[in-house]
Chain A
Amino acid sequence: MSSLSKSWILLVGLILFYVTYLMLGALVFSSIERPVEEQLKLDIETLRQEFLNQSCINDTSLDTFLVKVLEANKYGVSILRNSSLDSNWDLASSLFFANTLVTTVGYGHTTPLSDAGKAFSIFYALLGVPFTMLVLTACVQRLMYPLVYAPVGLVQRAGLTQRSATEVHFLVLTVVVVLSFFMVPAAVFNTLEDNWSFLDAVYFCFISLCTIGLGDYVPGEQAGQRLRPLYKISVMVYLFLGLLMMYLVLRAFHKLADLHGLTAMLQLPHCEEDEDEDKTPIVEAGPEDQQQADKAASKPLDPGSQLSYNSINR
């Protein structure tokens, strides 16, 4: 079987598996969430009826009013009394917004209202996203040495083979990252935010650090938040560091998969970090280093995609 047809078969198989995975997810989400939604619908309907009954408003005027309120709320403008003081676009919040744009998290709790804002977001994102990826990759490549190679070397010297050393190290790394970037911040958010349970906070941390960013939970958005700018900026720093660690874990996993032959089996490119590659990813000395550095600079969340986009560029 030629390698070309093999890669096509692999791809088709992957797509089918992916579609199945999505269907499964859809079924589970549907079965979990739908009854709750029905209940909420009933509740809100009763509320509405009660409101209408006890007052002189008719249906249509309430509807128009609500539509307007919700339109404003979609953009983060609230009608409620005590939230009128905080702006969504003061400097710290704008910085936070720019950060969510550039890290592709994209909560959506505030979105640009004006046309100019939307147009600017487009260009800002097109430049900022690769820029951020570049920074993150550069930082992660630097961090690989003290956080991955050195400990693995230490463990190896303690007597384990390279395979088991990387396994042990990866396990320890994952545990440390989960503890310090999920559990601890979740506890902090749990205390700082009024109606976030611990699970909600963990959910928030996870959704943010995977850059999914659904936006149903955003820290610092409650009314009357003390030290709001400082809070938002520290959340930004936390997001950046968390992303860094996620990429690091991903890269360590890639190396682990390399060692166990998984990447070769799935015909994916190897993790291109070498023990003696002591060069900065930005300075290349020759064409093969150029290739490696090209791979390094593409989206780190798709470790397998690093080879392919060079073929597009060439």
Chain B
Amino acid sequence: MAAPDLLDPKSAAHFSKPRLSFSTKPVGLNFQEDEYDTRTTVMRWKTVSAIFFMVVLYLIIGALVFRALEQPHESSQKLAILAEKLDFLSVHVCVNSSELEDLVKQVVSAIRAGVNPSGNYSNQTSLWDLSSSFFFAGTVITTIGFGNISPHTEGGRIFCIIYALLGIPLFGFLLAGVGDQLGTIFGKGIAKVEKMIVKWKVSQTKIRVISTVIFILFGCLLFVTLPAVIFKHIEGWSTLESIYFVVITLTTIGFGDFVAGEKGGSEIEYLDYYKPVVWFYILVGLAYFAAVLSMIGDWFRVISKKTKEEVGEFRAHAAEWTANVSAEFKETRRRLSVDVYDKFQRAASIKRKLSSELGLNVTPRQDPMGRRTLSVNLGDEREAYPNLTLCLTPVPGTLARNGSIYLNGLSPDYADRREIEIAIEETPN
């Protein structure tokens, strides 16, 4: 019969207590301290590389899904724009294709620089007026980096690098401070709620789960839903686009396809305080999102920790149990050997008596190798113990090293028992 793999974490779930292996070959359960440590170190590398492969897998899955979702859309866009171009060229015959392409190239690079060539020249606001520059500086420091505005001069770029080098750690500290205060405020609120819930005699873990859920829901309401509604109203985006903007901004990804307050061409009249309010909201929202993301990270770690805990716990169990069993068997062996010795003595004395009385010659069967071998046959009682054949063979050298005992064929039903009844029969032959 195959042995249940003691190192398999799945079997840990099945068996409440670790079982002895009942394979046909003897299994030594020895636990040495350094072996355990090396196993932990090996696990760590394995863990990191496992997680790394999972990330790569995650990326590949994402790539496949994105490709499946976006490529058809992109192809249709391409066809549409090509059709537009051909249409345009056919309608306006005095323009040839290369001229048009030149124009488009220039226009595109102008757009990249933030200048919109369509519409009237005069009433365009600059992309680098004070409030927009402020916003840009903010996107650099928070590492969101929308990219709808970006510096184009060499001086601007060099300054951007130096500015970011100093500003990002500064913002990090600020975020830490804001998050701290946010946490304190929220923690106080949660403490009050928890006090109420405790009255209902709910378990500690449930309380924690409830507070986490409240945190997420409340935060989502305050930092995601409400702003999304506001953005939808002011910017004219759809609901999905507003939520998309909020998530992409607050995780500091910051694509820049949707940017609040930066609609080119004065279609939307923004109130004066709109942009600073947006910036402030981004600051606090970033703190909230950092908390949420670290919580999600915690969950990942808890999941992997639980698995490892089970294995670790299981190993600890196994070690403890083995130590106990070895001690027990040592004790039993000692008692048995004393017992056996006594019985041999008695048998020998009986034999002597018999031989002296009857003149018989009974030679006790002696193990030729001179070891103390104890062989137990249960005889009539065998039906009650179907596969109980206990053979305790002290092998010289093994015991001295680690106290393990080789066992053969012990039925799993009796693994829990610490005391094993052994009846000794001497079969005269």
Name A residues whose Cβ lies closer than 8 Å to a Cβ of B.
Answer: 7-8, 10-11, 14-15, 17-18, 21-23, 25-30, 32-34, 36-38, 40-41, 43-45, 47-48, 51, 54-57, 61, 63, 65-70, 72-81, 84, 87-91, 94-95, 97-102, 104-108, 111-122, 124-135, 138-139, 142, 199-200, 202-203, 206-207, 210-216, 266, 268, 280-284, 293-294, 297-299, 301-305, 307-309, 311-314
Set of chain A residues within 8 Å of B90, measured between Cβ atoms: none
A interface secondary structure, majority:
helix
Ordered by A's residue number, 17 sampled pairs between the chains whose C-beta atoms are within 8 Å are A21-B166, A25-B140, A26-B136, A26-B137, A41-B124, A48-B103, A75-B74, A105-B145, A114-B69, A122-B247, A126-B247, A130-B293, A135-B52, A216-B112, A294-B294, A301-B143, A302-B290
Extra pairs beyond A34-B128, A297-B297 (12, CB < 8 Å): A25-B140, A26-B130, A36-B153, A56-B93, A70-B111, A84-B82, A111-B256, A125-B251, A129-B293, A207-B145, A282-B301, A297-B301
Cβ contact within 8 Å between B114 and A67: no
Chain B: which residue is nearest A253 at the CB level?
Answer: B169
Interface flag for B260 (CB, 8 Å): no
Interface flag for B353 (CB, 8 Å): no
* Cα A214 to Cα B117 with chains together (Å): 22
Given A105-B253, A113-B74, CB of A98 within 8 Å of CB of B177? no
Interface flag for B317 (CB, 8 Å): no
* Cα A2 to Cα B355 with chains together (Å): 98
Set of chain B residues within 8 Å of A97, measured between Cβ atoms: 63, 66
Interface flag for B272 (CB, 8 Å): no
Q: Which of A37, A112, A301 contacts B113, CB < 8 Å?
A: A37
Cβ contact within 8 Å between A107 and B171: no
Q: Which of B91, B114, B151, B248 contacts A125, CB < 8 Å?
A: B248
Set of chain A residues within 8 Å of B103, measured between Cβ atoms: 47-48, 51
Cβ contact within 8 Å between A311 and B187: yes
Stretch at the interface among B13-21, B305-313, B361-369: B305-313
Set of chain B residues within 8 Å of A199, measured between Cβ atoms: 154, 157-158
Set of chain B residues within 8 Å of A284, measured between Cβ atoms: 305
Name B residues whose Cβ lies closer than 8 Å to a Cβ of A.
Answer: 40, 43-45, 47-48, 51-52, 54-55, 58-60, 62-67, 69-71, 73-75, 77-78, 80-82, 84-85, 88, 91-95, 97, 99, 101, 103-108, 110-119, 121, 124, 126-131, 133-134, 136-141, 143-147, 150-161, 163-164, 166-168, 170-184, 186-187, 208, 211-212, 215, 238, 240-241, 243-244, 247-248, 251-257, 287, 290-291, 293-298, 300-301, 304-305, 308-309, 312
Cβ contact within 8 Å between A89 and B174: no
Cβ contact within 8 Å between A37 and B114: yes
Cβ contact within 8 Å between B67 and A314: no
Q: Which of A26, A48, A104, A116 contacts B117, CB < 8 Å?
A: A48
Chain A: which residue is nearest B293 at the CB level?
Answer: A130
Cβ contact within 8 Å between B256 and A108: yes
Cβ contact within 8 Å between A29 and B128: yes
Set of chain A residues within 8 Å of B180, measured between Cβ atoms: 7, 11, 305, 307-308, 311
Cβ contact within 8 Å between A203 and B47: no
* Cα A128 to Cα B55 with chains together (Å): 8
Cβ contact within 8 Å between A99 and B290: no
Set of chain B residues within 8 Å of A127, measured between Cβ atoms: 58, 296
Chain A: which residue is nearest B309 at the CB level?
Answer: A283
Q: Which of B92, B172, B253 contacts A56, CB < 8 Å?
A: B92
Given A61-B91, A106-B145, CB of A32 within 8 Å of CB of B257? no
Cβ contact within 8 Å between B140 and A212: yes
Cβ contact within 8 Å between A280 and B44: yes
Q: Which of B134, B152, B296 contacts A26, CB < 8 Å?
A: B134
Cβ contact within 8 Å between A34 and B126: yes
Per CB-CB distance, the 7 closest pairs between chain A and chain B, nearest first, are A304-B176, A106-B253, A212-B145, A25-B137, A215-B147, A98-B62, A298-B294
Set of chain B residues within 8 Å of A312, measured between Cβ atoms: 179, 182-183, 186-187, 215, 291, 295
